[in-house]
Chain A
């Protein structure tokens, strides 16, 4: 349960960045999908029911600030998490490049799921055209953000390992 609450709080910070900070800094319609990156991280490095619940909660959080239907991103993020969990055991999760590759795949898969769900289940008009039009730039933006976040995490880890006292022999 602590994991779910922790990721929810992280997601809240991500949402604030997506909705209020990024538009001011980037001056364009696109915003980096930080919650998607978080879900992919969850899928690769977290296991079990709590991970799935956290992914779904992040989806609902995204729904609260995007679009008009609650549950759309919840379903997409949960699907993404489950797919990644299925693949994670077959992949070398120690590789830093894997996260970036998975972010790219996740962005594409999210677009496919969005087109399917909005095109077949709702009257969203020609939303598929908007999705496909913005997809290349969105993928690049997500990749850049994922790389920056991953670099920041690496720096934190290195800093922690340096501060840790040496073991006694």
Chain B
């Protein structure tokens, strides 16, 4: 027996080793998610070496590609800069489109809520003189406009059309010194005439005893024949009542920001 073992010693040892390895493997198959002590040790030892090697390779590669191999870098840089400029321009355009969209959406909401049909127009020029307050819009008779039509924005009344050509119209703003509109105080229903003064408005023919307070909203009364009833003209900011006299002096600050006016809505009449 011993003779036999001695004779096949190598083969038997090899078989045992294979069997042990197979058992170890089959055992580990059932505990795949557990890190063995062996693995831990090996990884702990190997990690700094691997890290060192990796960083060395990275440094070498960096040195080569960033400082030595620079054939296409300038061309790439130029291309990227051009693309950056183009994308910045696109971004600005998109921002402008978004803002225009918001403004037009406001106008559309106003038109739908007021129940009036209207034509949206863009302001293309301002008055040639510093004394008058008129603007030129890009819509005219071809779009159904005519003299006397009211012009509004979502914030309130802007003015009325005074000149009309086939494709352009001039609008007299409510702030112009020659512009008047029949108005009333929203809170107390006091009637008066709202006249432009250049940058602000004044309420004229408001009796001294009439109930007007600072902060009151002034709206169109609808009796002037131009503006429909209820359009906002502005808010009272200053009231002067003299000791004598029939009327009080009321300053009205327009709700519409005329310095930032870009799109307006020309009201054509009742929506069909």
Binding site for B on A (CB under 8 A): 15, 18-20, 23, 29-31, 33, 35, 62, 65-68, 73, 114, 122-127, 129-131, 133-134, 138
Main secondary structure of the interface of A (DSSP, over half): helix
CB-CB under 8 A for A130 and B131, given A19-B125, A68-B172: yes
Q: A95 to B180, alpha carbons, bound, how many Å?
A: 47
Q: Is B197 an interface residue (CB 8 A)?
A: yes
Interface residues of B in 89-139 (CB under 8 A from A): 124-132, 134, 136
Chain A residue contacts of B126, Cβ below 8 A: 19-20, 23, 31
**Hey, what's the 0/1 contact readout for B168-180 against A, CB within 8 Å counting as 1?**
0010100011101
Q: A66 to B132, alpha carbons, bound, how many Å?
A: 7
Q: A23 to B199, alpha carbons, bound, how many Å?
A: 16
**Hey, what's the 0/1 contact readout for B159-193 against A, CB within 8 Å counting as 1?**
00011000000101000111010000000000000
4 nearest A-B pairs in the assembled complex, by CB-CB distance: A66-B129, A65-B128, A19-B125, A66-B128
Q: A31 to B125, alpha carbons, bound, how many Å?
A: 12
Could you tell me the distance in whole angstroms from the C-beta of B138 to the nearest C-beta in chain A? 12
**Hey, what's the 0/1 contact readout for B134-158 against A, CB within 8 Å counting as 1?**
1010000000000000000000000
Q: Can you list 16 A-B contacts (CB < 8 A)?
A: A19-B126, A31-B126, A66-B127, A66-B131, A66-B134, A67-B127, A67-B131, A67-B134, A68-B132, A68-B134, A114-B131, A123-B178, A124-B177, A124-B178, A127-B177, A127-B178
Chain B residue contacts of A65, Cβ below 8 A: 125, 127-128, 136
Question: Which of B178, B198, B199 meets A68, CB within 8 Å?
Answer: B178
Binding site for A on B (CB under 8 A): 124-132, 134, 136, 162-163, 170, 172, 176-178, 180, 195-199
**Chain A residue with minimal CB distance to B126?**
A23
Chain B residue contacts of A122, Cβ below 8 A: 178
B177–A130 touching, CB < 8 Å: yes
A-B contacts, CB under 8 A, total: 75
Q: A20 to B134, alpha carbons, bound, how many Å?
A: 13
**Chain B residue with minimal CB distance to A62?**
B128
**Chain A residue with minimal CB distance to B204?**
A125
Q: A138 to B129, alpha carbons, bound, how many Å?
A: 10
Chain A residue contacts of B130, Cβ below 8 A: 29-31, 33, 134, 138
Which residue of A23, A68, A126 has the most chain B CB atoms within 10 A of its CB atom? A68
B128–A125 touching, CB < 8 Å: no
Chain B residue contacts of A66, Cβ below 8 A: 127-129, 131-132, 134
Chain A residue contacts of B128, Cβ below 8 A: 15, 18-19, 31, 35, 62, 65-66
Chain B residue contacts of A134, Cβ below 8 A: 130-131
Q: A67 to B179, alpha carbons, bound, how many Å?
A: 11
B124–A20 touching, CB < 8 Å: yes
**Chain B residue with minimal CB distance to A128?**
B177
Chain A residue contacts of B177, Cβ below 8 A: 124-127, 130
Could you tell me the distance in whole angstroms from the C-beta of A119 to the nearest C-beta in chain B? 11
Could you tell me the distance in whole angstroms from the C-beta of A77 to the nearest C-beta in chain B? 12
Q: A123 to B178, alpha carbons, bound, how many Å?
A: 7
